[in-house]
Amino acid sequence: MPQPQYPGPAGGETGQVRGRTQREIIWTRFKRHKLALVCAVILLVLYVAAFVGPWLAPYGFAEQNFTAINEAPSAEHPMGTDRLGRDQFSRVLYGGQVSLLVGLGAGVGSTVIGAAIGIFSGYFGRWVDTAGAGFTDFVIALPFLPVLIVLGAVFTFSPQIIALVLAALLWPTVARLVRAQVLTLRESEFVQAARSIGVSSFRIMLRHILPNVVGVMVVQATLVTGIAIISESILSFLGLGIQPPTPSWGNMLQDARTAMRELPWLTIFPSIMIITTVICVNFLGDGLRDALDPKAVE
Amino acid sequence: MLAYIVRRVLFSLLVLFFLSVAVFYIVALAGNPLAELRQNPQITGADLDRIAAIYGLDQPLYVQYGIWMRDMIFYGDFGISFRQRTEVTSIIADRIWPTVMLIGSSLILGLALGIPLGIYSAIKQYSTLDKTVTFLSFVGFSTPVFLLGLILQLVFAIYLADLLGYRIFPVSGMDTGSTLELLRSLALPVTALAVTSVAVYSRFQRSAMLDVLAADYLRTARAKGLSRKVVYLKHALRNALIPIVTIVALELVTLLAGAIVVETVFSWPGMGFLLIQSLNQGDYNVARAIIMIIGVLTVLFNLLADLLYSVVDPRVSYN
């Protein structure tokens, strides 16, 4: 939405105030949510570390060193080593790549699917809505974890496939929220105006509806990312997700169970990574929700 | 209302039908249940055919599916476990009670802690306690239930025992020696499972209570000089408890899923642990049966939540 622009600096000699752009308003609101800001930075660091990590990692994820097995954290191995002498710091970095990629992929994927279905069924209404909303209800009614577990047990999942499966199961919340917004947007004056001058339905959805639901989409993409990271870790922890030797935070925790007392660092570090990531994702989602809410008052 | 109920019930049946087809066919992809016998050199091809014919495995899959559904619905018979060579029903029967106990205790603990915390947070809005509860429930939401289980296991079962030289909580398993032993082995899994519930209930009870506290009739009650206790507990709480009923139904769905994970972490001999065990061992008929049981319960609780929503709150209408 374009804001009126006034010349002159804010609070300048003329006494005129420059109107703020939408982006500035959102940024100002987001900055106020200190925790979300901190979490955004932490997540950025984690994602960068995970993707640059393989070059930074001192060892390979499957590199075994039998002269350094079961070592407690030290300068050499900041997160210790396991019973095969594999450096846990390197494995946490590689595992993070898998876990974070699955999370982000599922978050973005489910949001795209959910938004498409939500916009179509909300905008067209009638039988399109009956089908779209019905399908949404249907997927939401499936028992999520049992379905995921059966799929994981029968098929061997690569990280990409897990992200796809999670996206295919997690989109309904996005679709519901987007549809609800589109139902009101459809009746709004600017959409009716566009329709009255003959703009095609497709163009209306793309140019007039979509920009107004982007806020919901961003928040949901963030929250689904958190759910997806948890789901992948559960699945891999149960031995039904990412298969060793490829590390993910979930299967590292499964690996750690055989020696929880003797080698606690194998449990502690992946746990810290998962909890930190998910808490940060959720706080970020919270902050974004406040910042992107068009009804929020200053 | 009746039309709405009928529609929801039919929809739930459709979901279950789809789930049963999907589970049956996907699990069938995992492999032939007789694969193990085939490797036995003493069993000839003719024997295999005979065995396959006895269990109907020579039939096309859709016929097998039909028989499976028929036996399940009309006789409560889930077929045979080829791995354990007994009836699936008798294998599962032993596992029901531990799961019910785990989920039931978590539900009670969740409600007993979550609701008072929510009420208190609402009455003392923005107090230190309110902020602490808000923050902790956020952390509770964000911690995967298996991780919580692992942490509890590490801290309270392993390190605490090392520290005291005496084990209060067993690391895993169910100890049925005495009631006390049972409670001790139940403590950690129940805590792991209940934390999310406490977070959910306290958040929900807080917002429900805040809604009610803002209502006009509450101002009236205060204005006519009733004591705070009467206003909060009689006028406010009674109405603020209504929405919790639906949340309990929905939370049962979460607990069912959580139980699969928590039981596996603590080797708790319930249905969830059995599901993971049977999938890892290729005991597919057992896995199918458990998935269907969990599926039916999930759909049922969702339906219940949906219907209760309109029953307990007369303001909601579906006409």
* Residues of chain B neighbouring A240 (CB-CB closer than 8 A): 276, 279
β-strand B86-87 against B80-81: which pairing, if any?
Answer: antiparallel
Of B12, B30, B253, the CB nearest to A153: B30
> What pLDDT, in 10s, does the model give residues A187-218?
888 989 998 998 888 888 888 889 888 888 99
Pairwise CA distance, residues B75 & B120, whole Å: 50
Of A144, A151, A274, the CB nearest to B257: A144
Nearest residue to B288 via CA among B81, B148, B8, B83: B81
3-class secondary structure for B262-301? Answer: HHHHCCCCCHHHHHHHHHHHCCHHHHHHHHHHHHHHHHHH
Which whole number is the average pLDDT over A48-61? 77
How confident is the model at residue A13, as a pLDDT? Answer: 53
Instruction: Establish if A254 touches chain B: CB-CB under 8 angstroms.
Output: no
- DSSP H helical ranges for chain B: 2-29, 35-38, 45-54, 61-75, 88-123, 128-142, 145-152, 160-164, 179-213, 216-223, 228-229, 237-240, 242-265, 271-281, 284-312
Q: Is the pLDDT of residue A72 over 80?
A: no
Instruction: Establish if B138 touches chain A: CB-CB under 8 angstroms.
Output: yes
| Average pLDDT score, chain A | 84
Domain covering B91-312, topology: MetI-like fold (1.10.3720)
**Confidence (pTM):** 0.87
Q: Is the pLDDT of residue A10 over 80?
A: no
Domain that holds residue A162: 39-57+88-292
Residues 94-153 on A with a CB inside 8 Å of B are: 137-138, 141-147, 149-151, 153
Of B11, B150, B253, the CB nearest to A267: B150
Asked whether the beta carbons of residue B150 and residue A271 sit closer than 8 angstroms, the reply is yes
B86: β partners: B81
How confident is the model at residue B82, as a pLDDT? Answer: 77
Of A147, A153, A282, the CB nearest to B141: A282
Q: How confident is the model at residue A77 (pLDDT cuts 50, 70, 90)?
A: confident
**CA gyration radius for chain B?**
25
A24 in a domain, yes or no?
no
Q: What percent of chain A has pLDDT over 90?
A: 30
Exposure on the CB side of residue A195, measured as CA atoms within 13 A: 12
Largest CA distance in chain A: 77
CA B38 to chain centre: 38
ipTM: 0.86
Which whole number is the average pLDDT over A74-81? 74
Q: Would you call A24 helix, strand, or coil by DSSP?
A: helix
B81: β partners: B86
How confident is the model at residue A149, as a pLDDT? Answer: 92
How confident is the model at residue A230, as a pLDDT? Answer: 93
Q: Is the pLDDT of residue A82 over 80?
A: no
- Residue ranges covered by each domain of chain B: 23-77, 91-312
B80: β partners: B87
Q: How confident is the model at residue A55 (pLDDT cuts 50, 70, 90)?
A: confident
Place of tokens 């909303």: A133
CATH number, domain containing residue A213? 1.10.3720.10
| Rounded average pLDDT per 10-residue block, chain B, 319 residues | 87 92 88 72 79 80 88 84 82 92 94 91 86 87 88 89 84 83 90 92 89 85 84 82 85 92 93 92 88 92 84 64
A246 in a domain, yes or no?
yes
How many CB contacts within 8 angstroms connect chain A with chain B?
109
Q: Phi and psi for A113 in degrees, rounded to 5? A: -60, -50
Q: What is the domain count for chain A?
A: 1
Residues shown for chain B? 319
Pairwise CA distance, residues A237 & A254, whole Å: 5
> What pLDDT, in 10s, does the model give residues A145-190?
999 999 998 888 889 999 999 999 999 999 999 998 898 888 888 9
Instruction: Establish if B257 touches chain A: CB-CB under 8 angstroms.
Output: yes
> Angle CA(B227)–CA(B228)–CA(B230) in degrees, nearest 5?
70
> Angle CA(B255)–CA(B261)–CA(B266) in degrees, nearest 5?
110
CA B155 to chain centre: 25
- Cα-Cα-Cα-Cα torsion B310, B314, B315, B319, nearest 10 degrees, comes to 60
Asked whether the beta carbons of residue B153 and residue A279 sit closer than 8 angstroms, the reply is no
CA A140 to chain centre: 19
How confident is the model at residue A298, as a pLDDT? Answer: 47
A14 in a domain, yes or no?
no
Asked whether the beta carbons of residue B143 and residue A226 sit closer than 8 angstroms, the reply is no
How confident is the model at residue B211, as a pLDDT? Answer: 85
Q: How confident is the model at residue A11 (pLDDT cuts 50, 70, 90)?
A: very low
Q: Is the pLDDT of residue A1 over 60?
A: no
A25 in a domain, yes or no?
no
Nearest residue to B299 via CA among B13, B2, B25: B13
- Mind telling me how many Å the CA of B291 is from chain A's nearest CA? 6
Sequence-distant (6+) residues with CB within 8 A of B17 are none
How confident is the model at residue B112, as a pLDDT? Answer: 94
